Amino acid sequence: MKTALGRTAYGQRARLSSINVLLVDADDRMVQLLRKALTSLGFGAIYLARNGQEAIQQLASKPVDLVITDWDMEPMTGIEFIHYIRWNRLSPNRQLPIIMLTGKAKRPQVEEARDTGATEFLVKPFTVRTLCDRIMLVVDQPRNFILTSSYAGPDRRRRQQPLQGKSNRRRDEDKLLAKNENVSVYQKENEEITIIDADFSIKEKIGSHVTLDDIFNVENIARAQRIIHQSRGDYLDWVVNDLTRLDLAFKRLETFPRHDRDEVAAVRDVALHIKSQAGVFDYTLASQVADSLYDLCLPRSHFSPSAILAGRKHVDALFVIFQRNIQGSGGTVGEDLRKSLSALCEVVKD
């Protein structure tokens, strides 16, 4: 028998049943985790696509309210997919809310996603709480949609304030060219700027009197997080393959000093993969070590002997973390490990 609290929680989740989500990610493991979490939270249909091209096909035939997309996919990346939605004349909805969920967390990458028109940006590894926080921003605090000659997407400023340009003039000092119920067109210097009022259609489906704080409460988030953690055993099987790939990659690097950029890229991609997934299952230290290895690879097209040594130390550390099942940040052991790897990376010679 359901208690009154249980009936209330169910009723809250049921409000999301009319909200359909498209997940775009080449990583089947990550897609299934997201799907389970979103279903537990109460979302309606969850559609899947492995790349931007498949996502466009899904949007042509499916009613989608929200997109969550990864960055690294082929043949069409997440960035290319967002650009299509914002600019292509065949786009089904230029204002479609899009959350970029990626392991790429460097400032230039965040800025590129924002400038391409991503609605929100969330870094892997994620938790159900951080995912819900981004969805709450999309639903409860949508931003005006801006169209210029070089940008199409949500207002890049969080606060909905009068438009300001290089001269810091307010919108009411610009020339109003046209205005209807929810669209205003202004002339600023030599450029036309179209401002479309924020879209509250998802909010209206859920109920204008309901905030997602009510639905994404402690009980519902904990339930969804438990579902993810139930897959921890499967992840330990999965990560064996990733560690094996890293070990073989470094054996090739050590054997063939004249290796090319593809060998370095292979290490980088697996490191990003581990970084993105390990933290989801509370292997925070493993995620940090993999991120350090990713940083070691990022600026290089070739590994020097010292870089190979530093990389091999990272791989050895990852083996130890998973063999000893070290979850969380690893305490003092984890802190010492991070410091030693950081010091090793600082003295690497190209």
Do 109 and 242 lie in a common domain? no
Residue 21 has pLDDT above 90, yes or no: yes
Do 248 and 219 lie in a common domain? no
Domain boundary among 226, 244, 277: 226
pLDDT tens string 287-296:
999 999 999 9
Q: Rounded CA gap, 249 and 263, in Å? A: 7
Residue 6 has pLDDT above 80, yes or no: no
pLDDT tens string 190-212:
889 999 999 999 999 998 888 88
Query: Which domain, by its residues, includes 294?
Result: 232-346
Q: Rounded CA gap, 345 and 315, in Å? A: 13
- Domain count of the fold of the chain: 2
Do 236 and 306 lie in a common domain? yes
In a domain, 341, yes or no: yes
The model carries a pTM of: 0.89
Pairing type for strands 21-24 and 66-69 reads parallel
In a domain, 30, yes or no: yes
Q: Rounded CA gap, 113 and 135, in Å? A: 17
Per-residue pLDDT at 11: 58
Per-residue pLDDT at 172: 53
In a domain, 312, yes or no: yes
Do 221 and 316 lie in a common domain? no
Residue 73 has pLDDT above 70, yes or no: yes
Cα separation values, 239 from 38, 245, 277, 286, 296, Å: 24, 10, 9, 11, 20
In a domain, 159, yes or no: no
Residue 94 has pLDDT above 90, yes or no: yes
In a domain, 156, yes or no: no
Do 218 and 295 lie in a common domain? no
Do 123 and 240 lie in a common domain? no
Residue 78 has pLDDT above 90, yes or no: yes
CATH number, domain at 50?
A: 3.40.50.2300
Residue 176 has pLDDT above 90, yes or no: no
Residue 32 has pLDDT above 60, yes or no: yes
Per-residue pLDDT at 173: 58
Start-to-end CA distance of the chain, whole Å, equals: 65
Residue 3 has pLDDT above 70, yes or no: no
Do 109 and 239 lie in a common domain? no
Do 266 and 139 lie in a common domain? no
pLDDT tens string 154-163:
998 865 444 4
Paired tokens of 68:
């969550």
Cα separation values, 225 from 77, 94, 221, 261, 326, Å: 28, 32, 6, 38, 19
Do 278 and 138 lie in a common domain? no
In a domain, 36, yes or no: yes
pLDDT tens string 116-166:
999 999 999 999 999 999 999 999 999 999 999 999 999 988 654 444 443
